[in-house]
């Protein structure tokens, strides 16, 4: 993909398609009191909407429906026994033909077993898919000609109609543990990236790229979560309904300029492709490369200090020139370490009912949220208040030695710590797949550790 193509991503909104999907989901709720109650519980107990968890629908088929789906932007994946359509340009669930007279709604969860443990539904009925399989699913609720199934996916998207063979469970467990517990603290960041690459390559050799990617980010979410109170509160709320983090939208990493190409290289090893770029403006001095792993369903925002001139180059691969000053992202990395290594992710962004989630976190967990930095009809975004982390004295002294902070700023970091991580609350409408190209400037400035001290 050319440099020009990487900077031009015109993600569209599809209001008619959104209406079609919402109406179909409403039918399931109307025909099953259990499904309706489940939807209500998601809203009131997790601040999420049923639609944001839907993986795909299997509905009564007709030639007219197939034509309508194409008009709504869907494309045919397979016309095997039961046709399946997906929407390549927006965030909508796939739609397929029902194999029986019963229509089925499939909802994503991290673990079908965890969901069943919570809900205790028909516990003598087996889960479809072997333990450790890339896809597992089972019916959860039913009604008048409708069923809701929960489904877990591990590197196998809905467009993959033939799941890979179940891996060796001993190898699966060993690689999951190795990735989750990987060493992060190294004197030189290059050694940390090399260590991670070695673990990833070993896992890929046994499990393949997509399953390794799935395992890797499960571990990343675990590490980030144990360093962020808002995340632990929300995870407990979602686990209380057996959902896990299956509503994740994107993972955000902050990187120094020195290691940015190493960061992208690791993610490309895990099967990621470059998407759009961002530049927050001269005042913010910051930019980002968006990357996506379509099979594992992972999107990453990779942040780095950036100048206006550099955004036009392929900064994901072309090394940066050294410079003496630090921007918001670079300072965060000097205070806490690389997000890929010691610090962990800057934030995880998940899909919610925006107002419900903010209100519930405030009322139930005393979690405050920052002013929304995106408040558009099709996209709403806000951070929870920043988790404050202590800063190692060696990092403060290094910044002083390099004349990057003042003595007064150093003392405040010693006494107060510095903003570390957030949970991000997001609501999407009309299938919009993109991000706010303008509002990010303000939020980056708001999360500058020096502004925290003002």
The pLDDT value given to residue 67: 97
State the average pLDDT over residues 270-291: 88
Q: Which residue has the tokens 């930095």?
A: 373
State the average pLDDT over residues 257-273: 98
Choice among 3-7, 41-45, 125-129, 354-358 with the minimum mean pLDDT: 3-7
Q: What is the mean pLDDT of the chain?
A: 94
Contact 200, 212 (CB under 8 A): yes
Residue 195 CB contacts under 8 Å (≥ 6 apart), including other chains: 182, 183, 186
Most confident region among 109-118, 160-169, 321-330 by mean pLDDT = 109-118
Q: State the DSSP code for 43.
A: I
What is the C-alpha separation between 139 and 132, in angstroms, rounded?
19
State the average pLDDT over residues 186-215: 98
Whole-model pTM? 0.93
Percent of the chain residues topping a pLDDT of 70: 94
Grade residue 2 by pLDDT with cuts at 50, 70 and 90.
Answer: very low
The pLDDT value given to residue 162: 87
Contact 94, 77 (CB under 8 A): yes
State the average pLDDT over residues 432-449: 68
DSSP states of 232-261: HHHHHHHHTTT-TTTTEEEEEEE--TTTHH
Q: What separation, in Å, do the N-terminal and C-terminal C-alpha atoms of the chain show?
A: 43
Q: What tokens does 171 get?
A: 């190898």
Per the model's pLDDT, the better-predicted residue between 448 and 48 turns out to be 48
Q: Does residue 8 surpass a pLDDT of 60? A: no
Element (DSSP H or E) covering residue 230: helix 229-239
The pLDDT value given to residue 285: 83
What is the C-alpha separation between 227 and 23, in angstroms, rounded?
40
CA-nearest of 262, 269, 268 to 190 is 262
Tell me the per-residue pLDDT of 300-316, one tens digit each, with 9 for 90 and over.
Answer: 999 999 988 888 889 99
Dihedral pair phi/psi, residue 372, rounded to 5°: -55, 135
The pLDDT value given to residue 322: 87
The pLDDT value given to residue 448: 63
Residue 314 CB contacts under 8 Å (≥ 6 apart), including other chains: 3, 6
Contact 262, 190 (CB under 8 A): yes
Element (DSSP H or E) covering residue 74: none
Residue 44 CB contacts under 8 Å (≥ 6 apart), including other chains: 356, 360
Per the model's pLDDT, the better-predicted residue between 161 and 229 turns out to be 229
Grade residue 3 by pLDDT with cuts at 50, 70 and 90.
Answer: very low
State the average pLDDT over residues 72-78: 95
The pLDDT value given to residue 324: 85
Can you name the residues that pair with 343 across neighbouring β-strands?
Answer: none
Grade residue 10 by pLDDT with cuts at 50, 70 and 90.
Answer: confident
Grade residue 4 by pLDDT with cuts at 50, 70 and 90.
Answer: very low
The pLDDT value given to residue 278: 86
State the average pLDDT over residues 429-453: 70
State the average pLDDT over residues 91-107: 96
Other CB atoms within 10 A of residue 273 CB:
12
Degrees (nearest 5) of the Cα angle 220, 9, 52? 50
Tell me the per-residue pLDDT of 11-64, one tens digit each, with 9 for 90 and over.
Answer: 999 999 999 999 999 999 999 999 999 999 999 999 999 999 999 999 999 999
The pLDDT value given to residue 5: 47
What is the C-alpha separation between 187 and 203, in angstroms, rounded?
25
Write b or e for each residue in 179-200: b if 16 or more Cβ atoms lie within 10 A of its Cβ, otherwise e: beebebebeebeebbeebeebb
Contact 154, 214 (CB under 8 A): yes
Grade residue 317 by pLDDT with cuts at 50, 70 and 90.
Answer: very high
How far is the CA of 76 from the CAs of 12, 291, 298, 357, in angstroms?
20, 25, 23, 35
Tell me the per-residue pLDDT of 347-385, one tens digit each, with 9 for 90 and over.
Answer: 999 999 999 999 999 999 899 999 999 999 999 999 999
Domains of the chain: 15-153 (3.10.180.50), 221-447 (3.10.180.10)
């Amino acid at each position: 993909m050319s440099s020009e193509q990487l900077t031009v991503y015109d993600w569209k909104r599809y209001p008619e398609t959104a209406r079609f999907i919402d109406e179909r989901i409403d039918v399931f709720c109307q025909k099953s009191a259990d499904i309706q109650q489940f939807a209500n519980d998601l809203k009131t107990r997790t601040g999420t909407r049923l639609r944001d968890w839907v993986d795909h629908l299997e509905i009564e088929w007709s030639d007219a429906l197939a034509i309508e789906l194409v008009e709504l932007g869907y494309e045919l994946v397979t016309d095997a026994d039961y046709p399946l359509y997906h929407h390549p340009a927006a965030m909508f669930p796939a739609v397929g033909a029902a194999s029986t007279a019963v229509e089925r709604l499939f909802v994503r969860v991290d673990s079908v077993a965890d969901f069943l443990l919570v809900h205790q539904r028909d516990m003598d009925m087996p889960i479809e898919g072997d333990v450790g399989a890339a896809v597992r699913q089972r019916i959860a609720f039913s009604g008048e000609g409708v069923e809701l199934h929960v489904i877990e996916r591990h590197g196998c998207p809905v467009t993959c109609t033939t799941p890979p063979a179940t891996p060796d469970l001993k190898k699966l467990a060993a690689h999951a543990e190795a990735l989750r517990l990987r060493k992060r603290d190294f004197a030189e960041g290059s050694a940390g990236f090399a260590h991670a690459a070695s673990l990833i390559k070993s896992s890929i050799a046994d499990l393949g790229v997509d399953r390794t990617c799935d395992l890797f980010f499960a571990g990343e979410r675990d590490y980030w979560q144990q360093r962020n109170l808002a995340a632990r509160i929300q995870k407990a709320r979602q686990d209380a309904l057996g959902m896990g983090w299956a509503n994740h939208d994107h993972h955000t990493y902050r990187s120094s300029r020195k290691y940015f190409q190493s960061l992208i290289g690791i993610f490309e090893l895990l099967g990621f492709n470059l998407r759009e770029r961002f530049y927050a403006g001269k005042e913010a001095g910051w930019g980002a490369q968006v990357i996506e792993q379509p099979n594992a369903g992972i999107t990453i925002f990779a942040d780095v200090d950036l100048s206006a001139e550099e955004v036009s180059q392929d900064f994901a691969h072309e090394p940066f020139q050294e410079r003496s000053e630090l921007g918001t992202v670079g300072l965060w990395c000097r205070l806490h370490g690389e997000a890929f290594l010691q610090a962990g992710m800057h934030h995880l962004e998940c899909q919610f009912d925006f107002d419900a989630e903010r209100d519930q976190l405030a009322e139930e967990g005393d979690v405050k949220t920052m002013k929304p930095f995106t408040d558009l009809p099709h996209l709403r975004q806000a951070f929870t208040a920043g988790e404050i982390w202590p800063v190692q004295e060696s990092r403060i002294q290094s910044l002083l030695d390099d004349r990057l902070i003042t003595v007064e700023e150093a003392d405040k970091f010693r006494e107060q710590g510095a903003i570390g991580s957030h949970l991000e609350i997001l609501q999407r409408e009309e299938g919009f797949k993109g991000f706010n190209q303008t509002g990010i400037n303000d939020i980056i400035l708001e999360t500058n550790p020096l502004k925290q001290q003002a």
